Amino acid sequence: MSVTLQIPTALRSFTDRQTEITVEGRTAGEAILALAQRYPDIRTHLFEADGKLRAFINVYLNGKNIRHTGGLDAPLHDGAALTLVPAIAGGSENPSDSLIAPSRLAPLSENDLKRYSRHLILPEVGIEGQQRLKAAKVLIVGTGGLGAPLALYLAAAGVGVLGLVDFDKVEASNLQRQIIHSTRDIDRPKTASARDRVLGINPDIKVITHNTRLTSENALEILGQYDIVADGTDNFPTRYLVNDACALLGIPAVYGSIFQFEGQASVFYAKKGPCYRCLYPAPPPPGLVPSCGEGGVLGVLPGVIGSIQANEVIKLIVGGGSSLIGRLLLFDAWRMTFRELSLEKEPDCPLCGQHPSLRKLVDYEQFCGLSQTQEEAPVEEITATELKARLDKGDLIQLIDVREPHESVVFKFKDAKAIPFGQLVRRMDEFNPKNDTVFICKVGQRSIYAIRALRNAGYAGRMLNLKDGSNAWAEQVDTHLPRY
């Protein structure tokens, strides 16, 4: 059977940037195995050592997850299309399903009637719906790309209490997409900048800022003050933390994630449907999915996904409509396509399944593989100035640039051999193990994962990580080069 595999952005570095690949296979497993045979570097990211599909990969056939239609043995017909959906990361029809009880309805002032008049004339919202919005308390985790449209639109809609969680400061590179901040806000705490902008739009609402990192120690206390949590995070540990805390508290998490040109949106509400762990039982290996800072993101993409999240929050508050509970919405901004996939609650989910075993928050850095284990040897580092000194001395050093080709366009690292992260293992024979090899990426993180991948693959030469990456070289050695 000739089958088309649709490759998401996060996996395209392993398939020479191909978006659709045709293979032969009678079952889903045969088709995916054929892909792995053609592109060996992708195998370990798709399969466990025992041949099972890894937990952070979902495969859809005709809009259905193959986990529920036979798994890897799911039969295929000629011309079938399989969609790979890795973590990057029903509805209410009755207003009585609103999360805001009638006893909490807040009266509307004369100013409210003027401000929200366009809502009031919608029969699906009306006076009562606006009263629910005014009574609602919504927490936005992250005031960056997704948090910006979330905060702006929820404030404009009249959500009575908005909580903002973030611990970062505004940087110039944020302004390409984080429209809640402005140039004059650079170096200010993001929560302060976002609060000012939100109150500028609607001074009648209450804004609570939590200028702190969300952790297992404070999450239940912070999230427990709100009716709904909107997840605008940009990393897997916080995403799993938000999901787990919401499930334990019995409140919905309105999910959004973005990467380059692609976005995902859903509502994870364990009371009525699946949670994030049902979709992705385990996170991808560190380094597979770069952050927006490393992989890039189209500036308008978070505006689209964040607005969809805001829409879902409003529907949950007002009641009625068809929410994204039990559905995953996929958006490709470059192709301008939307796709919808069904989600099902996993009976064996450790958090919300039939026999839950996860009853408290855990160490999410460790869960996502970001905490160094005792068995894992540390990665040796070299600073930009130390590397410059060794190169000036004429030391025989191999420089390997693991950035993607489009990053090298910003500037090429002199004398470095460009081998993208996804090709390293299959090309390690190109390295001379007798010489020290220094690995380079943008900020010194992907290069750490590159060294560990090569170490696990058996490469025996000495490997060093350029600390803080090409940005450190541009700042400390060659100041004419751009930091990006």
Instruction: Give the per-residue pLDDT at 407.
Output: 77
Q: What are phi and psi of 170, to 5 degrees?
A: -70, 130
Radius of gyration (Cα) for the chain, nearest Å? 24
For the question of whether the overall pTM of this predicted structure is more than 0.75, the answer is: yes
Residues 241/225, Cβ–Cβ less than 8 Å = no
Residue 461 structure tokens:
């030469």
CA distance linking residue 178 with residue 184, whole number of Å: 13
Q: Angle CA(268)–CA(137)–CA(234) in degrees, nearest 5?
A: 50
Q: Does domain 381-476 have CATH number 3.40.250.10?
A: yes
Instruction: Give the per-residue pLDDT at 221.
Output: 97
Domain(s) labelled CATH 3.40.250.10 in the chain stretch across 381-476
Q: Does domain 95-367 have CATH number 3.40.50.720?
A: yes
Domain(s) labelled CATH 3.10.20.30 in the chain stretch across 2-86
CA distance linking residue 336 with residue 341, whole number of Å: 17
Q: Angle CA(89)–CA(140)–CA(245) in degrees, nearest 5?
A: 65
CA distance linking residue 181 with residue 166, whole number of Å: 13
Residues 243/276, Cβ–Cβ less than 8 Å = yes
Inter-residue long-range contacts of 214-220, CB under 8 Å, 24+ positions, other chains counted: 214/141, 214/165, 214/238, 214/241, 214/242, 215/241, 216/241, 216/361, 216/362, 216/363, 216/364, 219/245, 219/361, 220/245, 220/248, 220/249, 220/361
- What top-level class would CATH report for the domain 2-86? alpha beta
Domain(s) labelled CATH 3.40.50.720 in the chain stretch across 95-367
Residue 319 structure tokens:
């009641």
Residue 211 region, left (φ>0) first, then alpha (ψ -120 to 50), else beta? beta
What stretch of H or E contains 139? strand 137-141
Sheet holding 161-165: strands in order across?
206-210, 161-165, 137-141, 228-231, 253-259, 262-268, 327-332, 337-342
Sheet holding 381-382: strands in order across?
381-382, 463-466, 436-440, 397-401, 417-418
Instruction: Give the per-residue pLDDT at 293.
Output: 64
Q: What is the pLDDT of residues 431-481, one digit of tens each?
A: 999 999 999 998 888 899 899 889 888 998 999 999 999 999 999 998 888
Q: Which residues are catalytic?
A: 292, 441
Question: Do the strands 253-259 and 262-268 form a parallel or antiparallel pair, or are they unpaired?
Answer: antiparallel
The pLDDT profile of the chain, 484 residues, written as one tens digit per residue, is 788 888 887 788 788 888 889 988 888 888 888 898 888 888 877 888 777 888 888 888 877 788 878 888 888 888 888 888 887 643 334 555 788 888 898 899 999 999 999 999 888 999 999 999 999 999 999 999 999 999 999 999 999 999 999 999 999 989 999 999 999 999 999 999 999 999 999 999 999 999 999 999 999 999 999 999 999 998 889 999 999 999 999 999 999 999 889 999 999 999 999 999 999 988 877 666 666 666 678 999 999 999 999 999 999 999 988 899 999 999 999 999 999 999 999 999 999 999 989 989 988 888 877 655 445 578 999 999 999 999 999 999 999 999 888 777 777 888 899 998 888 888 999 999 999 999 999 888 889 989 988 988 899 899 999 999 999 999 999 888 877 7
Strand partners, 258: 263
